[in-house]
Amino acid sequence: MMKEKKVPTAVIQRMPRYYRYLGDLLERGIARVSSAQLSRRMGITASQIRQDLNHFGGFGQQGYGYNVEVLYNEIGRILGQDQEYSVIVIGAGNLGQAVSKYTNFNKRGYKVTALFDSNPALAGTTVAGYPVFDARELPDYLKENHTDIAVLTIPKAGAAETAKILTDGGVQAIWNFASIDLDLPDDKAVVVNVHLSDSLRVLSYKLRELRSEENPEED
Ligand code: NAI
């Protein structure tokens, strides 16, 4: 695959949002959009939007704006949305089940194939129609089933060990919900950590701020 120019992480992190907004416009049959309109809808300055989108070839045209469909497809391609991914979920507890049951991931090309759990009582059951296997079967499973992405929804105690089994088995991407920083070989695997509690704390920070603006004397 041809190496693309490295795009700054901050830009990449805004991409899924652009993708969502553009998808929304497409659904509403809107064919083009200016950076000013996107700016109003998204609360990002127009110049930031132009700068961001320039990383992807600058598809905007003076006086026309952006072709929504072209931009949507291009951002989708950059985000890897033009492919399907086989996904396994490690840890078939509350969170693992919730992720597996969320059918929109499936629609977007992330195809769950199986779950794994260290609790033998769960082996042989199904979650949303997907089989749950004993975690000890993971190395063999990976030998026989090409797997793109593993979702780690287990406590942090077993996370590092499991990540090693996954990368040794050829899994190159881990969506990590365990509250531990995984040390993966850079050239072999990528990881994105998800901390729902971080975003919840940002919410309570904002709530505190809002309330102190309402009642300044209390702060
Ligand atoms: P849970 O207790 O319902 O499920 C955990 C499952 O993992 C259990 O079925 C257990 O048998 C299994 N398990 C434990 N060690 C394993 C291993 N080494 N290999 C395979 N399976 C293993 O817990 P829940 O609510 O699903 O949460 C899972 C983890 O995710 C917890 O550690 C929790 O702290 C974390 N979490 C993280 C969030 C985030 O935003 N990052 C949000 C919620 C939970």
- State the DSSP string of 89-153: EE--SHHHHHHHH-HHHHHTTEEEEEEEES-GGGTT-EETTEEEEEGGGHHHHHHHS--SEEEE-
**Whole-number pLDDT of residue 191:** 95
Alpha carbon distances (Å) from 45 to 8, 15, 40, 50, 158: 18, 15, 8, 9, 43
Domain 85-197 CATH (choose: 3.60.15.10, 1.10.10.10, 3.40.50.720, 3.40.50.12780) = 3.40.50.720
**Whole-number pLDDT of residue 138:** 98
**Whole-number pLDDT of residue 1:** 47
Domain spans of the chain, in order of start: 9-78, 85-197
Q: Reading across the β-sheet that carries 110-117, which strands appear in turn?
A: 126-127, 130-134, 110-117, 85-90, 149-152, 173-176, 190-193
Which of 117, 151, 166, 195 for mutating ligand 1's site (highest number of atoms within 8 Å of CB)? 117
Rounded to two decimals, the pTM is: 0.89
What's the CA-to-centroid distance between 206 and ligand 1, angstroms? 28
Look at ligand 1, atom 1, and give the residue with the nearest C-alpha: 93
> By the 8 A CB rule, do 180 and 209 touch?
no
Enumerate residues lining ligand 1, CB below 6 A. Answer: 90-96, 116-119, 135, 153-155, 158, 162, 177-179, 194-197
| Dihedral, CA of residue 36, residue 39, residue 45 and residue 50, to nearest 10 | -60
Which distant-in-sequence residues (6+ apart) come within 8 Å of 106 by Cβ? 112
Query: 85-197: same fold as 9-78?
Result: no
**Whole-number pLDDT of residue 152:** 98
CATH T-level assignment (fold) for domain 9-78: Arc Repressor Mutant, subunit A (1.10.10)
> By the 8 A CB rule, do 95 and 177 touch?
yes
Beta-ladder partners of 191: 174
**Whole-number pLDDT of residue 174:** 97
pLDDT 10s per residue in the chain (219 long)? 445 567 888 888 899 999 999 999 999 999 999 989 999 988 999 999 988 888 876 666 767 788 999 989 989 998 999 999 999 999 999 999 999 999 888 888 999 999 999 999 999 999 999 999 999 999 999 999 999 999 999 999 999 999 999 999 999 999 999 999 898 887 889 999 999 999 999 999 999 999 998 887 655
